[in-house]
Chains A and B, each alone.
Chain A
């Protein structure tokens, strides 16, 4: 019974989402609001139950232990961070927010360097599972440079005051723009493919399940 109810509710919500075919309409927005609301509520409840409460339970279990004392720091920072929403006391959460952003940025940066940049560079050096050939490497490198140059905006202004790229950059920038276009196209194709797959899966699922419900 619960499965059937869930099935029907899901089917209705699916139709509400697909009503976007006729344009933005209230029922579509209703379905979107339900999705966002349920997701946020579930996440909040789960976080509260699985993350926050166990921490406090641990603190209550051994309040004077070292770990418990150490937990006071993040708890205090969390409270200060919550005060960020109050304009009067927002200045209290500035340090906590700075710590959070700083640590996150540092971790992300290290990961990007050690996890992406260096390995990718080393791959072209002959390490990895799929070591590309030298031509592929060069092309990849060139295309990468061109793409990076596309985002380089250092230049001069002409007599009319317009900003212009240096002459030698113009070709690479165009190549890089082409690479960007292809990349974005590929990404778009992948998104479209995924969407079609999901559409197919939904139709197949509901067709199958509803067929089972039929006597």
Chain B
């Protein structure tokens, strides 16, 4: 379809690209056509391909990537189930700049080194120190190890099987170490779970462990029976741990454990549950460790310090019942776990004093048998020499399991160097004999230890504490002492490192509440460093039952030596902490007494509220003040303190408490350590600090109780206290300490002088009516004005009620317009103008479409492929039959001979005879494919030339022709002269023509090939040129280039099909003669005779005639059939 250009003047359609109208000659507008880039033909803009050359006019556009349909277009179902997607490249929070280049490019991270194969990790040995990069994340054992064998080669395929194989291949020791590491929660993380294949490995290693043999040490001496009934109530939380087997707390729990405490996990106090799973490796019983050591069982190197693994583990007998000890002994083979709070240093930032001093009581009430269980393991903390202690501390982390053997002397020294409080627990006496240079253990621990030794050795038999778990299976003190080898233990944990001996000086006078309370807890004479114990005690409120008797039985702990962290707390000045201006909600009363007092920042709000504190409150806290100031222990202990010391929910421990009445109360109302006393909030006022304030100022009452808690019931231990409800009175603003820039003297609304000046400068305020511009309200809004306001009568509104539909009964319902139902009328103006040509094209398109839809009728349908194939076979058979008949028929058809010799053949014969005895150039310009017809001519001619004595010169313009020439001239007696291949077609023939004929100059070379003299002479004397070819172009080239240039006669031997091409040239005299196929050959041979064998030629000539006749007949028949069967096309 060609878009024509319509002339604007005469409206005559003109062909596209016309500049002037063909009718009126008006200049036509420049047609907007597309120039073909190939032939520069203007094409209509609607064309995609050029009308002239067919090249594409419009570039093909790459298919746009289908954009994801917006969510809005998605169907509802798709929306419901569609997940938030991320576009490729959108890494979300990932910052592309932070991505390492090697990760972006995919190149190896180590560019400089010999990069391994793609997909494989570089070996460590191949990496230079720089390439190894930062070693901060690498474990120490990897960095420090000089043994390359220790380095694990990076696996090529990081699979589970690979690592399993690695694990299987390592030594048993290494396996045990690895198992221990994997069991260490510090490594696996809090609550971390090992993969199954690692868990299996750990379990397998554990299964391989031989049952821990009974310790060689002597059985523990008979410990005084711990009257659970008497003392159980005192140490409720310890009681809960009575039968606690720390193995239970250990993870994984050893299934072989048959101790009563195996199921103690259900009885574990909450505060203990909240703790991390203890690492039993670190706090294993000495006997167990010894056995384990002897058995070379694996213990985590990093988690279990040597001092814990040493034989002289602390004797925790006093803290555990004999039965528990035995129970533990039964579980000696099991690893024992200790709460992490014992392992990890206490968090001093959230230091919370225990509500009750019960821990000390518990320690006092602990079984004597567990005396060493607590102290012994902590023996390692105390060292006579700080150096030894430091070394021990260092060795702890090396987990020199083998180095647990300790000399008895060291054991003794270590034993002597137990924490004071623990000793107090053992002996019930203040550990005054403790050397001053015990820097490792907390003084309170030693004191408790000694006290416990005396207090609990006889009475406390029941293990109520986690220390019971520290007891060795054998519960043998001597065994413990001997087995413990704290002298050679490894380094202590950090928090134990800080257990430097406290100053000998008494706690300062301004010791904080913490220190004072701890003094009460731990004893009047020693600085009560019961923070650690207090932490544990705080967790369990039940342990601090209100039992005055128990409190009396509590023996003070030796607080002469306090760990560093406690000493730091002592030196801690809450006033130095950052105070907050904002009011801090006062802690609940129960916790407030426990908090380390921090003098809060003076806040007017708190101060205001604190004013309401009455004297009674002061009296309430006065007791504490007295405590803080070092009230004599003989004075009456505050009820809340007494209550703290006595667990209320341990009735079974009442007997224990009674027995311990004679014991010194752990909590003493005497001196508090300085570091605790210093934590007392200042009298000047409360100051907000990191540590929550404990006490309000003296003049201040209790903190404001939250409204939600105002009506709440106080705990029992606070029942006796008089909580003063602050009077909720409005505090005048003037009483508050307002910033200076706020002028409170003037009433609200009255600006101050400064404000007055500012206001004076401002322009006078206009009334609101004048400030606002009146807006023009549109009428349609005015019409909506209610009649009541407008005062106009109500418009007549159709208030007919709707009777049908969901709006039945409503007035003024607008009727629904049937917009959808009404068809849209088409305006006549939208009709298109269709030209005649377009109508014709449309009709043609319609016709084509209809023709495609119409099925082909059987009459018009062409033969099926199978039918055509069959017909083809039939034709072939007919032809073959004709050929066979002609070839093998006896005589009949083969005897046919041509009537006469064609003139051209005769002329050729004459030309050959004329060139007798002279060189004749014969060009074989045909391939073996045409040899069937031209070989006969070639043989005939060659035989004639040979008979004439002519020198034959062969050449060809094709490589195959030279091969044909060679094959045909082999039988000649006179070998021909082969020029070779003449390349270049017409140009080559032109070069040959210069060398052929009567040229005055000999051609020494022909197309770069040197010609010998004979060849040169022969070429120069060529009398006839015979071209044997079956191609029209070759014949024409020879005729045009050689025949016209060289004045040498030219003859041709062509196929029968090429006869029409050769005839004009023969007629024009350019060809002297030619042979056209077998008929001429046969006729010539018959007429003039030839020495060549022409039998086959004659036979083929006969067959050819028959076959051609058959072919002709078939063509005629086919044409007739086609003519008769084809129907006229439908009109």
B936 closest partner in A (C-beta) = A201
Encode A42-54 as 1/0 by CB contact (under 8 A) with B.
Answer: 1101110011001
Q: Does A116 contact B (CB under 8 A)?
A: yes
Encode B998-1040 as 1/0 by CB contact (under 8 A) with A.
Answer: 0000000101111000000000000000000010000011011
Complex CA distance for A130 and B1065, rounded to whole angstroms: 9
Instruction: Tell me which of B1040, B1058, B1065 contacts A111 (CB under 8 A).
Output: B1040
Q: Closest Cβ of chain A: how far from B749's Cβ, in Å?
A: 91
Find out whether the CB atom of B1057 lies under 8 angstroms from the CB atom of A111: no
Q: Closest Cβ of chain A: how far from B1031's Cβ, in Å?
A: 11
Q: Closest Cβ of chain B: how far from A158's Cβ, in Å?
A: 11
Encode A171-215 as 1/0 by CB contact (under 8 A) with B.
Answer: 000000000000100110111111011111111110110000000
Encode B335-362 as 1/0 by CB contact (under 8 A) with A.
Answer: 0000000000000000000000000000
Q: Does B975 contact A (CB under 8 A)?
A: no
Find out whether the CB atom of A42 lies under 8 angstroms from the CB atom of B1067: no
Q: How large is the interface on B (under 10, 10 to 19, 20 to 34, 35 or more residues)?
A: 35 or more
Encode B1031-1064 as 1/0 by CB contact (under 8 A) with A.
Answer: 0000011011101100000000001111110001
Find out whether the CB atom of A190 lies under 8 angstroms from the CB atom of B1039: no
Find out whether the CB atom of A119 lies under 8 angstroms from the CB atom of B1069: yes
Q: Does A164 contact B (CB under 8 A)?
A: no
Given known A130-B1067, A197-B932, contact A107–B1100 (CB-CB < 8 A): no
Query: Chain A CB within 10 Å — which of B887, B1039, B1060, B1100 has the most?
Result: B1100
Q: Closest Cβ of chain B: how far from A102's Cβ, in Å?
A: 11
Q: Does B219 contact A (CB under 8 A)?
A: no
Kindly identify, within residues 132 to 161 of chain A, every residue whose CB is under 8 Å from any CB belonging to chain B.
132, 157, 161
Find out whether the CB atom of A204 lies under 8 angstroms from the CB atom of B887: yes
Complex CA distance for A193 and B1070, rounded to whole angstroms: 26
Complex CA distance for A190 and B1063, rounded to whole angstroms: 14
Contacts of B1005 in A (CB 8 A): 58, 67
Residues of A at the B interface (CB closer than 8 Å) are: 21-23, 39, 42-43, 45-47, 50-51, 54-55, 58, 67, 71, 103-104, 107-108, 111-112, 114-116, 119-120, 122-123, 127-132, 157, 161, 183, 186-187, 189-194, 196-205, 207-208
Q: Closest Cβ of chain B: how far from A16's Cβ, in Å?
A: 15
Instruction: Tell me which of B884, B960, B1064 contacts A39 (CB under 8 A).
Output: B960
Contacts of A46 in B (CB 8 A): 959, 962, 981
Contacts of B1077 in A (CB 8 A): 193-194, 197
Contacts of A203 in B (CB 8 A): 880, 883-884, 887
Q: Closest Cβ of chain B: how far from A141's Cβ, in Å?
A: 13
Kindly identify, within residues 235 to 251 of chain B, every residue whose CB is under 8 Å from any CB belonging to chain A.
none
Q: Closest Cβ of chain A: how far from B1092's Cβ, in Å?
A: 16
Q: Closest Cβ of chain A: how far from B247's Cβ, in Å?
A: 81
Contacts of A123 in B (CB 8 A): 1064, 1067-1069
Contacts of B1070 in A (CB 8 A): 115, 119
Q: Which of B324-332, B396-404, B596-604, B1102-1110 contacts A (4 or more CB under 8 A)?
A: B1102-1110
Contacts of B876 in A (CB 8 A): 21
Find out whether the CB atom of B873 lies under 8 angstroms from the CB atom of A204: no
Q: Which 7 A-B pairs have the closest CB atoms?
A: A190-B1057, A115-B1040, A201-B932, A111-B1040, A130-B1067, A46-B959, A55-B1008
Complex CA distance for A111 and B1057, rounded to whole angstroms: 23
Find out whether the CB atom of A161 lies under 8 angstroms from the CB atom of B4: yes
Find out whether the CB atom of B1008 lies under 8 angstroms from the CB atom of A200: no
A18 closest partner in B (C-beta) = B876
Instruction: Tell me which of B15, B1037, B1103, B1107 contacts A161 (CB under 8 A).
Output: B15
Q: 7 A-B residue contacts at CB 8 Å? A: A51-B1007, A116-B1040, A123-B1064, A123-B1069, A187-B1057, A193-B1104, A204-B887
Instruction: Tell me which of B929, B981, B1107 contacts A199 (CB under 8 A).
Output: B1107
Instruction: Tell me which of A45, A187, A201 contacts B1100 (CB under 8 A).
Output: A201
Find out whether the CB atom of A194 lies under 8 angstroms from the CB atom of B883: no
Q: Which of B522-530, B620-628, B983-991 contacts A (4 or more CB under 8 A)?
A: B983-991
Q: Closest Cβ of chain A: how far from B1118's Cβ, in Å?
A: 13
Complex CA distance for A54 and B1070, rounded to whole angstroms: 34
Complex CA distance for A193 and B499, rounded to whole angstroms: 121
Encode B468-512 as 1/0 by CB contact (under 8 A) with A.
Answer: 000000000000000000000000000000000000000000000
Residues of B at the A interface (CB closer than 8 Å) are: 2, 4, 13, 15, 869, 872-873, 876, 879-880, 883-884, 886-887, 907, 927, 929-930, 932-933, 958-960, 962-963, 980-981, 983, 985-987, 990, 1005, 1007-1010, 1030, 1036-1037, 1039-1041, 1043-1044, 1055-1060, 1064-1070, 1077-1078, 1096, 1099-1100, 1103-1104, 1107-1108, 1111
Find out whether the CB atom of B1037 lies under 8 angstroms from the CB atom of A111: yes
Contacts of A161 in B (CB 8 A): 2, 4, 13, 15
Contacts of B873 in A (CB 8 A): 21-22
Complex CA distance for A47 and B1056, rounded to whole angstroms: 30
Given known A129-B907, A190-B1055, contact A112–B987 (CB-CB < 8 A): no
Complex CA distance for A55 and B980, rounded to whole angstroms: 13
Find out whether the CB atom of B981 lies under 8 angstroms from the CB atom of A47: yes
Instruction: Tell me which of A39, A115, A187 contacts B1043 (CB under 8 A).
Output: A115
Instruction: Tell me which of B932, B983, B1010, B1058 contacts A190 (CB under 8 A).
Output: B1058
Find out whether the CB atom of A128 lies under 8 angstroms from the CB atom of B1068: yes
Complex CA distance for A104 and B1104, rounded to whole angstroms: 39
Find out whether the CB atom of A122 lies under 8 angstroms from the CB atom of B879: no
Find out whether the CB atom of B1108 lies under 8 angstroms from the CB atom of A196: yes
Complex CA distance for A54 and B980, rounded to whole angstroms: 11
Find out whether the CB atom of B981 lies under 8 angstroms from the CB atom of A50: yes
Find out whether the CB atom of B1056 lies under 8 angstroms from the CB atom of A194: yes
Find out whether the CB atom of B1068 lies under 8 angstroms from the CB atom of A129: yes
Contacts of A157 in B (CB 8 A): 15
Contacts of B1055 in A (CB 8 A): 190, 194, 197
Find out whether the CB atom of B1066 lies under 8 angstroms from the CB atom of A47: no
Query: Chain A CB within 10 Å — which of B15, B887, B986 has the most?
Result: B986
B959 closest partner in A (C-beta) = A46
Find out whether the CB atom of A104 lies under 8 angstroms from the CB atom of B987: yes
Complex CA distance for A201 and B1108, rounded to whole angstroms: 13
B962 closest partner in A (C-beta) = A46
Q: Closest Cβ of chain A: how far from B1051's Cβ, in Å?
A: 12
Contacts of A50 in B (CB 8 A): 959, 962, 980-981, 1009
Complex CA distance for A68 and B642, rounded to whole angstroms: 127
Complex CA distance for A115 and B907, rounded to whole angstroms: 20
Given known A23-B869, A161-B13, A200-B887, contact A111–B986 (CB-CB < 8 A): yes
Complex CA distance for A115 and B1042, rounded to whole angstroms: 9
Find out whether the CB atom of B1057 lies under 8 angstroms from the CB atom of A108: no
Complex CA distance for A58 and B1008, rounded to whole angstroms: 7
Contacts of B981 in A (CB 8 A): 46-47, 50-51
Given known A116-B1039, A130-B1067, contact A192–B869 (CB-CB < 8 A): no
Complex CA distance for A116 and B1068, rounded to whole angstroms: 9
Q: Closest Cβ of chain B: how far from A54's Cβ, in Å?
A: 5
Complex CA distance for A144 and B438, rounded to whole angstroms: 134
Contacts of B869 in A (CB 8 A): 22-23
Q: Closest Cβ of chain A: how far from B972's Cβ, in Å?
A: 20
Given known A104-B987, A200-B1103, A202-B932, contact A122–B1068 (CB-CB < 8 A): yes
Contacts of B887 in A (CB 8 A): 200, 203-204, 207
Find out whether the CB atom of A107 lies under 8 angstroms from the CB atom of B987: yes
Given contacts A194-B930, A204-B1100, 19 further A-B contacts (CB under 8 A): A46-B981, A51-B983, A54-B1010, A58-B1005, A104-B986, A108-B1040, A114-B1040, A116-B1039, A120-B1068, A127-B1068, A187-B1057, A187-B1060, A190-B1055, A194-B1055, A194-B1056, A198-B932, A200-B932, A205-B932, A208-B1096
Instruction: Tell me which of B2, B932, B1008, B1104 contacts A71 (CB under 8 A).
Output: B1008
Contacts of A189 in B (CB 8 A): 1057
Complex CA distance for A198 and B985, rounded to whole angstroms: 26
Contacts of A198 in B (CB 8 A): 929-930, 932-933
Find out whether the CB atom of B1041 lies under 8 angstroms from the CB atom of A107: yes
Given known A161-B4, A196-B1108, A201-B933, contact A120–B1041 (CB-CB < 8 A): no
